[in-house]
């Protein structure tokens, strides 16, 4: 997929409002979408290990232009971007961490609002919280799994209802992505094995503790996205079911030395095709960025117009979230990843 938000902005300007991404009803370019979703799910899982939130790329950085700034510029340009005040809440765990005996914990991601000097505002907010459950091998001291001992397993699930992050631009256009770990039965492809279930995203420390590595199992996450013009109705542009199977993604190292290998399956529920993404020594070398800094992922299409073809997303050499996509037709373009899911 060429930059998702660029497509949204261009379609919005051209037609008032249109969906972007894998919509069956609209002819759009979906190059890179499978690779983006797979990478974003792993980035979101790892992003929780060091104490940060499931987030948007460039999450609320005051001193450099992050992806939110770019998004707001695309939806409704407001200059100068720097004359702004930021207010944030959340990023909290309740109750105070005391080990597995207090399960489940409620994790509330950070929500923020920006107000420009000219009075324009924009916001990013979550509709709810995530639940965290710590396995019996976890200790009573370390809330964030990267500091936990051998075999500690932390399961992240959405609570009774899915959790939606909503970004409202200064012209009241709304861009929302919903996270739902109840993935059973949400995919279009009944042949995916093992079938997605409702057991959440599970991070399990390696035998040497999470300081040496961990495993990420995405049992079945359902991710949807909508874009809404001011006063209009929402148009769905994303609908994916993501799963890894029990083998999951293997991550070696910790902090700025993490390297991920393994395979993720992405069902594209609107366009009705399935793709498999393989992580080839993908490095996460920046603890302030939830996206890879090196290596690549290759995505193979199991059906659809590009059946048996492969695309590659290569990381490194740019700002957080920037990558180079070699599409199934061999063309290469720059993309910017947007979400840690």
3-state secondary structure 202-226: EEEECCCCCCCEEEEEECCEEEEEE
pLDDT of residue 207: 94
Question: Counting every residue, how long is the chain?
Answer: 341
For residue 217, tell me if it sits in a domain. yes
- Residues near 102 by beta carbon (within 8 Å), at least 6 away in sequence: 95
Are residues 272 and 24 in contact, defined by beta-carbon separation less than 8 angstroms? yes
pLDDT of residue 109: 85
Domain that holds residue 288: 4-336
CA distances from 33 to 211, 287, 315 (A): 32, 24, 15
pTM of the predicted structure, to 2 decimals: 0.81
For residue 242, tell me if it sits in a domain. yes
Q: Tell me how far apart the alpha carbons of residues 258 and 83 are, in angstroms, rounded to a whole number.
A: 36
pLDDT of residue 48: 54
For residue 103, tell me if it sits in a domain. yes
In sign, the C-alpha dihedral spanning 132, 138, 140, 143 is: negative
Apex CA 149: angle with CA 214 and CA 258, to 5°?
A: 30
Q: Is the pLDDT of residue 296 over 80?
A: yes
pLDDT of residue 99: 95
Task: Work out how many domains the chain is built from and give that number.
Answer: 1
User: By C-alpha distance, which of 312, 309, 285, 302 is closest to 36?
Assistant: 312
195 or 114, higher pLDDT = 195
pLDDT of residue 31: 64
Sole residue written with tokens 């048996």 = 308
Q: Is the pLDDT of residue 331 over 50?
A: yes
Mean pLDDT, to the nearest integer, of 85-101?
89
Are residues 307 and 319 in contact, defined by beta-carbon separation less than 8 angstroms? no
pLDDT of residue 19: 24
- Residues near 289 by beta carbon (within 8 Å), at least 6 away in sequence: 57, 320, 321
253-285 per-position pLDDT tens digit: 988 899 999 999 999 999 999 999 999 999 999
For residue 341, tell me if it sits in a domain. no
230-248 per-position pLDDT tens digit: 777 788 888 999 999 888 9
pLDDT of residue 110: 83
Are residues 148 and 205 in contact, defined by beta-carbon separation less than 8 angstroms? yes
Helix (H, G, I), strand (E, B) or coil at 81: coil
17-28 per-position pLDDT tens digit: 222 233 333 333
Task: Answer left, alpha or beta for residue 253, where phi above 0 means left and psi between -120 and 50 means alpha.
Answer: left
Are residues 331 and 323 in contact, defined by beta-carbon separation less than 8 angstroms? no
Are residues 267 and 49 in contact, defined by beta-carbon separation less than 8 angstroms? no
CA of residue 55 relative to chain centroid, distance: 7
185-216 per-position pLDDT tens digit: 999 999 999 999 999 999 999 999 999 999 99
Instruction: Report the relative pairing of strands 249-252 and 258-268 from DSSP bridges.
Output: antiparallel
For residue 204, tell me if it sits in a domain. yes
Q: Is the pLDDT of residue 58 over 70?
A: no
pLDDT of residue 175: 86
For residue 179, tell me if it sits in a domain. yes
pLDDT of residue 310: 96
pLDDT of residue 231: 76
Apex CA 45: angle with CA 41 and CA 49, to 5°?
A: 160
Q: Tell me how far apart the alpha carbons of residues 336 and 65 are, in angstroms, rounded to a whole number.
A: 13
71-92 per-position pLDDT tens digit: 444 444 444 445 678 888 888 8
The percentage of the chain sitting over the pLDDT mark of 90, rounded to a whole number, equals 48
pLDDT of residue 170: 80
- Residues near 24 by beta carbon (within 8 Å), at least 6 away in sequence: 270, 271, 272
For residue 225, tell me if it sits in a domain. yes
pLDDT of residue 168: 87
* Strand-pair partners of 93: 107
For residue 145, tell me if it sits in a domain. yes
Q: Is the pLDDT of residue 108 over 70?
A: yes
122-165 per-position pLDDT tens digit: 888 899 999 999 999 999 999 888 889 999 999 999 988 899 98
């Amino acid at each position: 997929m060429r930059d998702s938000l660029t497509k949204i902005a261009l379609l919005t300007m051209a037609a008032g409002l249109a969906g972007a991404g894998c919509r069956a009803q609209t002819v759009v370019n979906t190059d890179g979408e499978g690779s983006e979703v797979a990478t974003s799910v792993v980035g979101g899982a790892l992003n929780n290990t060091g104490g940060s939130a499931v987030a948007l790329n460039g999450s609320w950085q005051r001193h450099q232009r992050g992806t939110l700034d770019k998004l707001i510029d695309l939806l409704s340009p407001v200059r100068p971007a720097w004359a702004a005040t930021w207010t944030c809440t959340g990023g909290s765990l309740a109750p105070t961490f005391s080990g597995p005996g207090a399960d489940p914990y409620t994790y509330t991601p950070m929500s923020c609002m920006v107000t420009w000097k000219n009075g324009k505002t924009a916001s990013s907010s979550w509709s709810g919280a995530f639940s965290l459950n710590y396995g019996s091998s976890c200790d009573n001291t370390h809330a964030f799994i990267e500091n936990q001992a051998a075999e500690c397993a932390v399961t992240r699930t959405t609570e009774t209802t899915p959790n939606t992050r909503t970004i409202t631009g200064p012209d009241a256009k709304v861009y929302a992505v919903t996270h739902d770990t109840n993935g059973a039965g949400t995919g279009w492809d009944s042949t995916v094995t093992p079938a997605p279930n409702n057991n959440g995203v599970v991070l399990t420390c390696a035998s040497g503790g999470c300081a040496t590595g961990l495993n990420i199992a995405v049992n079945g996450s359902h991710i949807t996205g909508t874009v809404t013009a001011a006063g209009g109705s929402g148009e769905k542009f994303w609908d994916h079911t993501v799963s890894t199977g029990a083998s999951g993604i293997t991550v070696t190292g910790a902090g700025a030395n993490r390297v991920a290998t393994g395979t993720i399956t992405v069902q594209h529920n609107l366009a009705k095709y399935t793709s498999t993404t393989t992580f080839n020594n993908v490095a996460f070398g920046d603890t302030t960025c939830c996206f890879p800094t090196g290596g690549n992922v290759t995505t193979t299409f199991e059906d659809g117009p590009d059946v048996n073809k492969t695309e590659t997303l290569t990381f490194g050499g740019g700002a957080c979230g920037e990558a180079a996509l070699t599409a199934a037709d061999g063309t290469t373009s720059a993309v910017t990843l947007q979400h840690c899911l």
